[in-house]
Structure 1
């Protein structure tokens, strides 16, 4: 079974402590692969600064929808896990929750169109991580804390509409309280554990 984990820096595994990447046995996608064991391939496709809506200035071409299709073409996928939305909350983009949710819907719709005449992989949407407006990110993410809470409901409702699975990580996997954006080691472990349970449960009902 091939599982694509497509997201931003919290999928890539940036540490809130030193800004470096967590090791393969620490970040949630590769940790999920370790827990699943033989017969599963987890493809890590995290990219810092990746967005749903905009191409962030000074960061190159990071728009999620442009970078997803090459992964769809390169692999026979059974599951696609998407973790996006946090970077869209940056103050400079001035996006509403509805704007971000609409972009996620467009991403899901494009996946479905790509697989129109083929078996559609199971799609799992993770909520955007909770945001704490603290430290160096405080001004960059001004106003994002409230929006991140609203985004959970918007994503959840969208997943019901699109008939995709949804995992709210805000309660189980908060970011570092001092840094405010990136997930802790404990949070990466929690996401891997909950996804493991979800995947095993879904497999028992046949993909």
Structure 2
């Protein structure tokens, strides 16, 4: 059985908007993808973590730096393929990062993946755009107005990384919008749509 690593943040973990709880199996996209991949003899490794970044350390929550945690995850699992979706948390105002810098961090994470996985078996996902007014107190004040603009410009820089590394890329924002309740996370419908998108990309790239 092949193993597919899904490495990301709260939208990979399956956070329910406006809560600290997780969507159940059968709702979050990683579980829906697993169900689709059963017939291909592929096991999904769910490695989502709320607040995870590409390269930044969260001053309030430990172990959120994706680049630091990825090597151990790879060595303990030896996956055959990977889907990596990071960058939303990098848009927080405290990191003061632009799309170029965030993409450079993502590229370093991809370099770690390439130590274990061939480029043809890696898919970068440029995350959904942050919603308007996400920075307001009732949503997530860790972001600011500029964060939305940064999120909207990630794909162009991520595409350059994908071409440089020879890996596939998908823009989640082309298919999924954030929940209106928090302007940041997938709805159940978003999870369903995204599972279909990734499944089709796995077929297109012949990973599945």
TM-score normalised per structure 1: 0.90
2:179 to 176, 179, 190: 176
Equivalent in the alignment of 1:68: 70
Distance 1:119 1:138, change over 3 A: closer
Matching of residue 200 in structure 1 with residue 203 in structure 2: yes
Deviation per residue, 1:85-127 (Å, 9 max, x gap):
0001001111111110111111112322x23xx8567111111
Worse overlay, 138-147 or 45-54:
138-147
CA contact (8 A) 2:124 2:168 kept: yes
Q: Distance in 2 between matches of 1:150 and 1:131?
A: 11
Equivalent in the alignment of 1:37: 38
Equivalent in the alignment of 2:129: 130
Map residues 49-198 of structure 1 onto 2, 5 A cutoff.
49-112=51-114, 114-115=115-116, 122-132=121-131, 133-134=133-134, 135=136, 136-142=138-144, 143-198=146-201
Which ranges of structure 1 fall in alignment gaps of 5 or more residues?
A: none
Q: Distance in 1 between matches of 2:126 and 2:112?
A: 19
Q: Distance in 1 between matches of 2:202 and 2:29?
A: 14
Distance 1:121 1:62, change over 3 A: farther
Deviation per residue, 1:34-53 (Å, 9 max, x gap):
11114110000000011112
Distance 1:121 1:159, change over 3 A: closer
| Alignment length (residue pairs) | 202
Which ranges of structure 2 fall in alignment gaps of 5 or more residues?
A: none
Aligned to 2:58, the other structure's residue is in SS state coil
Aligned to 2:174, the other structure's residue is in SS state coil
Q: Distance in 1 between matches of 2:43 and 2:4?
A: 6
